[in-house]
Amino acid sequence: MNILLAEDDVRLGKLMTHLLQKEFHLVDWVINGMEAYNNARCSNYDVIILDWMLPGENGLSVCKRLREKGIKSGILFVTAKDANEDIITGLDSGADDYIVKPFEFNELLARIRAISRRKEKPLEDSVTIDDFTLNLNSHELKRNDSIIELTKKEYQLLEILMRNHKQVITREVLFDKLWGYETEVSDNALDALVKLVRKKVDVPGTPSLIQNVRGIGYKVRPLHV
């Protein structure tokens, strides 16, 4: 699932990003309202997690503006504001759900799943490119009827590329979505990861599923024309 997290508490933001990524979710983390609004306008997120008290523009205003622009992503408020009138205000602004800090992470995951089930456009269960089918629930990759075992990072790389198969994904975007704020990752980590995936999915003597677009990034390409 592709998630936007807007949380200005750096410690909590890092923790939530780490825990969501452990659950195989792709996470973009921002720390103010303007970034949250701009990211949500430019990317197709399944769920947006909004802190109410964001600096600059607060989460309530962001939520209202996104709904006015027709953004259909699920929106979940995560906030310390626990008064009944605040909850009503948050839901009336266009949010799908509301969770009060502090919270159990398992409850957050359950609310994310519930939002995904309620949306008008159900989330995709799988993505298919030629002989390959990536199951977004079980995190399995199949080529025809054969399962190809993937690590978490290998799965996440393929999910990004396959869900955006009509476009080139830049190296910068891939680094951010796969490693986020883990700045100790070396520059060649992405190329090494692509190499590992190619070993698992490619057939010797045939073109690779993952195409390197020199100087820009990577994309997946149809193998059968």
> What confidence score (pLDDT) does residue 182 get?
55
Round the average pLDDT of the chain to a whole number and report it.
88
User: The tokens of 215 are what?
Assistant: 């100087």
State which amino acid sits at residue 179: W
Fold matches, 2-118 and 126-220: no
Q: Tell which wins on pLDDT, 79 or 186.
A: 79
Which CATH code fits 126-220?
1.10.10.10
- The proportion of the chain whose per-residue pLDDT surpasses 70, expressed as a percent, equals 95
Predicted confidence (pLDDT) per residue in 106-165, tens digit: 999 999 988 887 765 455 678 898 889 999 888 899 998 899 999 999 999 999 999 888
Q: Counting every residue, how long is the chain?
A: 225
Assign 94 a pLDDT band (cuts: 50, 70, 90): very high
Supply angle C-alpha 73, 77, 81, rounded to 5.
165
* Residue ranges of domains in the chain: 2-118, 126-220
Residue found under tokens 């957050």 = 108
- Look at residue 61 in the predicted model and tell me its pLDDT: 96
pLDDT at 221 over 90: no
Residue 142 forms beta bridges with which residues?
Answer: 133, 147
Query: Which DSSP state fits 210?
Result: E
The pLDDT value given to residue 154? 94
Question: Given a cut of 60, is residue 184 above it in pLDDT?
Answer: yes
Pairing label, strands 210-213, 2-6: unpaired
The encoded tokens of residue 146 equal 């054969």
Sheet containing 169-170: which strands, arranged edge to edge? Answer: 169-170, 217-220, 210-213
**CB-based contact 23:137 (threshold 8 Å):** no
Q: What is the mean pLDDT of residues 156-180?
A: 87
pLDDT above 80: residue 69: yes
Please determine, for residue 36, whether its predicted confidence score (pLDDT) is greater than 90.
Answer: yes
Rg, the chain, Cα only: 19
**Top CATH class, 2-118:** alpha beta
Nearest by Cα to 45 from 81, 84, 4: 4
In 3D, which of 144, 159, 164, 149 has the Cα closest to residue 219? Answer: 164
Measured CA to CA, the distance from residue 138 to residue 72 in angstroms comes to 25
User: pLDDT per residue over 37-50, tens digit each?
Assistant: 999 998 889 899 99
